[in-house]
Each structure stands twice: as C-alpha cells, then as structure tokens.
Structure 1
C-alpha cells in the first residue's frame, strides 16, 4: 500500500495546502479572501504569512521534514550528527532569528530559539532546545516514525532524540513521541480506531514505548504488591490514549461535530500541541479512508491549519497509502516528482534495514 510514502507525502500536501490560507483566526476574513470552501493550493496574499511563495509550495516546516527524509535515506537510518550538520549548513545560514523570514517565508518559534542558541550564542547541540509548546518537532519527526514503524522502541528513541534538539518541555516531548507512535501504528497497517490506545499501552507494558505506567490492562488498579510498575522516561502514558478517545468520539453517533471543520472550534484554533493533536486524531479517524475530506476539513477550520492539515495528512496518508491520495494534490504540489522520488527511497531504505533484522514481510509494504 506504500504506507511510508503515503504518510510523508500526505504530510507535505497538507502543509502546502495551508500555505496560502495560514493563520486566519477570523474565519469570515478567511472566507472572504480565500473563498467559501478551500479545495486546492493557494498563493499567499502580499503581506500575509508565507508571502512570496506560490501555490503548491511547502513551508519551512515541510522543508525540515524533507531534510530529515534526506538524512534518513543518506544514512540508512537516523543519525543525529548528520541531521544537525544539515541544520548548521543548509538552514541556519539562511535565518536571522526573526519570524517573517527564512526559507518558506516564516520561521517557527522552536527553530528561532535553536538558531539563537546555536549561532549567536555558539552553544553545542544538546543545549539549543527551547520552550515552544507547538507541534514542530512532532511534524519533522514523522519521517522517523514512518521509517522505524515496525521497531517501536527504536522509533521512540530516535523520535525523542530528534525532538529534544529544539524542544525540551517533557510534556510536549511526550505528546510528540506519542503522536509518532500512533503514526507508526498506522504505517504498520493499523487503522485509527478506538482500539489503538490499547495497542499502544501494550507496547508500554512490553517496554517498547518509554512511558511510565502503574495500572493494569484496561486501566484497572495495580496489583497489591505484585507486578512491578513500568517505569518510563515519560511520567504518564496519557498522551498515548488521546488518539483512541478522539476515534471514539468520531464513531459515537451521539457526538456530532458538523461540519467536521468545526473540530478547530471544539479543540481550539491556536498552535499549541494540546489544541492540534485531538483535532488531527478526530479528523484522521472520521475520514480514515478519505484523504481529501480529512485535509480539507483540517484546512477550512482556520487558525493553525497548517499543522492541523500536516498532522492529519500524515495520519490519513498512512492509512490509505500513496495510491489513496487524490492525484490532483500530487500534480499541484511544486517539486512533487522530487518528493515522490525521495518518499520512494525512504520506503525502500526502511524495507532494507528491516529486512536485515527480520526475514518476514509486513503489511506496510
């Protein structure tokens, strides 16, 4: 099904769809300037975010995802030194620490903070992370989750290592790792249903995911003096349960969010990860077989619709595979052939490194 390629291309398309309509918090203004229902790539208006880009371009967030894909392919796996070298030589020389500048027309908070500590202050990597509570680390790390989808322990370690380069709040890191654990499940062949939470909790119990856990199965009380609790890097497994509850809400006939784009009003339009993830999980479960509906409802909810669409696009792209993404979104994406070739290389490289550790085939391929 080409789920690896579906995940990363789904993310890049979601990112590019929002370039021309990003960060409208006044929905009436967005409708006036972008049309009553956004269905395709738009060129940003002069003076707005990402001004200077063209319809179908990706933002700096998309470029960082591509950079990490290139690093994974080049190294046949995640090598932190290679990725940070790329940041030092390819991205940071183009930045000046201000928001409305840099490749993609805007530089997010976590990258600005990392640039300031790394370039003007000359700190080593490992001391450059900041306090941003956004989804930026989770978004670029999607390439790692897709690559190591069948190796949850290795996936979680590599994702965490990459995220803490730029964000160090433990709760934000935990939620970012949890999102990528969900994505890895979908790349591996699962669907975003209410059962996904139980699957992830089983990986915690096995030690594959580094989350602290006290309860027994189905969140029952711990035994009296029996089993030892699972002690993990992250103090609570709750971030792993969010996707299952969002899927439960999407399937419950007594819960109606109509039209679905209003999920942005239910969970919040801002940038913080605790607004973004529930909305993305909801849309990716409700439209798990319909990539177009999922990303368009993510886009038309306004606010931080770029992250919402990128996260949703990855989750649904992983479920439908590359062939489930409408062709018009691929043909309208600028540099699409380059990204398709890179996505194919990423998938093939993932297969090779998994084959070296296992002799059986998997549904993600």
Structure 2
C-alpha cells in the first residue's frame, strides 16, 4: 500500500470519528425508540439540533460533543508534538477542559460530561491528585473515543500503538478488561488503516501480532486457536492483558455479518441485539458488526449506528472510524464533511496526522510482513 492510500485511510478514520460524534449529538441517548422517531422522524439522515429538554441542549447541528472536544485536544497534541506526549496531553486537559467542568453531568463543552471525566475532575481538581492516580472504574468507551487517534498515529507500529493507548486509557479508566478492549479496538483500527479488511480473517492477523510479542495479550493456544502441545511451557507474558479474547470479537462479528443465515434487519436493530447501553461490551460488538457489514458504505454504517438509539453517539463514532479507515476520506460523502462545524480545521489536522503515519517507513508490497 502506498503512502497516499495510507494517508487517505488515516484521515478517513479521524474524520469518521468526528462525523459520528456530531451525528449523535441531537438524537443522543433515546432508549425509547418510539420517542426517538417522534422527535426526529422515521430515519435520521443528517446532523440535527438537540432538543431543549435533552442531552446537549443549546448546541446546534454539526457541532461536537465533549467526546469530540477531547478527541480534538489529543489530535492537536499529536500533530504539534509529532508523537504522543502524555505530559502535553495532560497539560491541555488541565488548561482547556477541566476548568470548564464542575463535576456534575450537565456542564462543560458539549453540554454533558461523562462518568469517567467527572471522576477525573474530582480526583484531579478537588483532590489534586497527580496524573496517573486519576483513573476510575467506568466500563464505558470514553477511552476508545479519544485513543482511536493514537491507533491511527501508530497504525504501522502495533507495539507502540498498544503502549500509547494503554497508557492514555488508564488516565481515566483503570479496569483491566476495559483497557484490554480499548487496546483491541485500537489494534483493529490500526490494521484497517494499513489496508486490512474487517472480516473473519482479521483476528488471525491480530493473533500473529500476539505471538510475535507486538500486542500485549497472553495466549496459550497455537495457530488458529488449536490447543497447546503437551509439555509446552506457558509462554512468557507479553503484557498485562490476561486474555486475547478482545482481539477475537471483531472477526466473530464480521463472520455474523457475512453469514447469509444470520440477518439483523434492518441493520440498526444491532442495538437491540447487542444492547443499547453505554458499556463497552454492548458498544463494541455493534460497532464491529456495522463496520464489517457496511465495510464499503460509510453512509449506511453511520446512519444505522445513529438510528439504533441508546448510546448511539459512541456507536456511530466507533463504527464510522472503522469504516472511514476502510473507505478513506476520499469516499466519505461530502455532505457529512460540509455539515460538520470546523470541518476545514479538523480536516487539516487529520491530514497533518495522516502525513505522520505515511512515512518512508511505510510497509511496501501489501501487508505480507504481518
């Protein structure tokens, strides 16, 4: 894969995330689908204003939520520093986000502050704890929603990708399972930027990276999940994550999406199959399913994610990043870019980050090295 293609996929992943975040702003967190249809019609097709009595009240169609605000902070840090600089990111959070919060849900940029960021505010501002002592136990996708930028930046270096994502994730979420699923999502996104497809074979590629020690997951099986040989020693732990199962989920979802005997119709009902709540174990299967089913159709993946209700903003953000990485920025429909506030600025930042990814060290001749 050449540098231009890498840049297009990288920028597509970044802009997909911003678009998904803004698309969910209006119809966010409707758990009653009849209420969602009443307020926004039978099918949401574009950016919408939040209603005055709902989450994000006062914002306008095409604006970002607080998740998008934080994503932009990390993106700016990466572009300006050239690499992930934890101290620089933490400084930006201290100076540009935390002073705007008060520890309550309905406040701050985007009009709503998530559980993990409220806990961060309490520990950092009220208790004055140092960074690194600020993580909480939220089982949500907030860490993924910002570290996906790190997955793009280090798409060509899985080991560094895992280290950077894990280190950033624990600033706000310290549950080992949540962190492992966050790193797994990043590893998937990184492969998609490199040109892999989200299909039934992707997890085998991820497991090769585990075997080589590039991804910090523990595994005792041999190739293709066959049992270990009798007498074989327990392999040395490559990292903190006890199980590689988070790396297997995407290919199971992709296999389900491709199986003619398994149909979720219409596809937005994936939210009912895997669950509408915010927890990471509801969100990731739905995002993987939509991104595999609509791997070459950004609009369909995005709209089915949004129209499924519940935590549709995170679902849209995660699915759109995955599909954006598969189709590239060049194949994201123009209307989604044009309707996004600060689109030109965000696209410039995405292009600058993509240029860092596509370097002279880019793998040549496809992905045979993995």
Where on the TM-score scale, by shorter chain, does this alignment land: which range?
over 0.9
* CA distance, structure 1, for counterparts of residue 157 and residue 246 of structure 2: 19
Query: 3-state DSSP class of the match of 1:132?
Result: coil
CA RMSD after TM alignment: 1.2
How far apart are 1:226 and its partner, in Å? 3.0
Counterpart position of 1:272: 279
Distance 1:137 1:53, change over 3 A: same
Counterpart position of 1:53: 59
Counterpart position of 1:121: 127
Q: Is the 8 A contact 2:156 2:357 kept in 1?
A: no
* CA distance, structure 1, for counterparts of residue 137 and residue 12 of structure 2: 31
Q: Which stretch shifts more, 303-312 or 221-230?
A: 221-230
Q: Is the 8 A contact 1:204 1:230 kept in 2?
A: no
How far apart are 1:324 and its partner, in Å? 1.1
TM-score, L = length of structure 1: 0.97
Counterpart position of 1:182: 188
Aligned length: 360
Counterpart position of 2:99: 93
Query: 3-state DSSP class of the match of 2:126?
Result: coil
How far apart are 1:349 and its partner, in Å? 2.2
Partner of residue 198 from structure 2, selected from 170, 192, 195: 192
Q: Is the 8 A contact 1:207 1:230 kept in 2?
A: no
- Is residue 323 of structure 1 aligned with residue 330 of structure 2? yes
- Is residue 22 of structure 1 aligned with residue 51 of structure 2? no
How far apart are 1:202 and its partner, in Å? 0.4
Distance 1:361 1:221, change over 3 A: closer
Query: 3-state DSSP class of the match of 1:20?
Result: coil
How far apart are 1:225 and its partner, in Å? 2.1
- Is residue 299 of structure 1 aligned with residue 312 of structure 2? no
Deviation string 1:173-200 (CA, Å, 9 cap, x unpaired) is: 0001000100000011111001001000
* CA distance, structure 2, for counterparts of residue 314 and residue 102 of structure 1: 25
Counterpart position of 2:111: 105
Q: Is the 8 A contact 1:205 1:230 kept in 2?
A: no
Partner of residue 162 from structure 2, selected from 156, 160, 167: 156
Q: Is the 8 A contact 1:276 1:308 kept in 2?
A: yes
* CA distance, structure 2, for counterparts of residue 266 and residue 341 of structure 1: 37
Deviation string 1:231-284 (CA, Å, 9 cap, x unpaired) is: 231000000000000000000000010000000000000000000000000000
* CA distance, structure 1, for counterparts of residue 232 and residue 217 of structure 2: 20
For residues 243-254 of structure 1, the aligned pairs below 5 Å read 243-254=250-261
* CA distance, structure 1, for counterparts of residue 292 and residue 121 of structure 2: 36
Query: 3-state DSSP class of the match of 1:145?
Result: helix
How far apart are 1:229 and its partner, in Å? 1.8
Counterpart position of 1:242: 249
How far apart are 1:158 and its partner, in Å? 0.3
- Is residue 233 of structure 1 aligned with residue 240 of structure 2? yes
TM-score, L = length of structure 2: 0.95
Partner of residue 284 from structure 1, selected from 282, 291, 301: 291
Counterpart position of 1:143: 149
Q: Is the 8 A contact 2:219 2:243 kept in 1?
A: yes
Deviation string 1:281-330 (CA, Å, 9 cap, x unpaired) is: 00000000000000000000000000000000000000000011000000
Gaps of 5+ in 1: none
Partner of residue 9 from structure 1, selected from 11, 15, 22: 15
How far apart are 1:223 and its partner, in Å? 1.5
Partner of residue 344 from structure 1, selected from 344, 351, 354: 351
Distance 1:230 1:316, change over 3 A: farther
Gaps of 5+ in 2: none
- Is residue 133 of structure 1 aligned with residue 139 of structure 2? yes
